Amino acid sequence: MELETEVEIGKAFLDQVIYRHMNGEDVVKEVSMAKWWLTDLTKKAVAECMKLFGGYGYMEEYEIARRFRDIPVSTIYAGSNEIMKTIISKKIGL
């Protein structure tokens, strides 16, 4: 229920950013926010999902183990989340 709420919030924000981008607006700040927040959320979500499987969640036979291992890289590539935060900081004048 908590994750479902956060996923819905994330979807609403992302849809809005895409819509604004398609309308030609400058959304660099919002894209950076989305990249940081949504990829952090996927890490949290996959960790919670893995726990549902208990010890089996760590075993290669279960796809969730692969997801748990692969998802965190999304916070690194295409601009690490620390870099996303520096972009946001600059955009809001910090």
Ligand X SMILES: Cc1cc2nc3c(=O)[nH]c(=O)nc-3n(C[C@H](O)[C@H](O)[C@H](O)COP(=O)(O)OP(=O)(O)OC[C@H]3O[C@@H](n4cnc5c(N)ncnc54)[C@H](O)[C@@H]3O)c2cc1C
Site residues (vs ligand X, CB under 6 A): 73, 76-77, 80, 82-83, 86
92 CB-near residues (< 8 Å, 6+ apart): 29
Q: What is the CA radius of gyration of the chain?
A: 16
Q: In the bound complex, what is the minimum distance in angstroms from residue 37's beta carbon to ligand X?
A: 15
Q: Judged by CB, which is closer to ligand X: 22, or 94?
A: 94
Q: In the bound complex, what is the minimum distance in angstroms from residue 73's beta carbon to ligand X?
A: 5
Q: Judged by CB, which is closer to ligand X: 42, or 80?
A: 80
Q: In the bound complex, what is the minimum distance in angstroms from residue 75's beta carbon to ligand X?
A: 8
**Distance of alpha carbon 76 from alpha carbon 87, whole angstroms:** 15
Q: How far is CA 44 from CA 68, 81, 91, in A?
A: 10, 14, 26
The closest residue (CB) to ligand X is 80
Q: Which two tokens stand for residue 24?
A: 């030609």
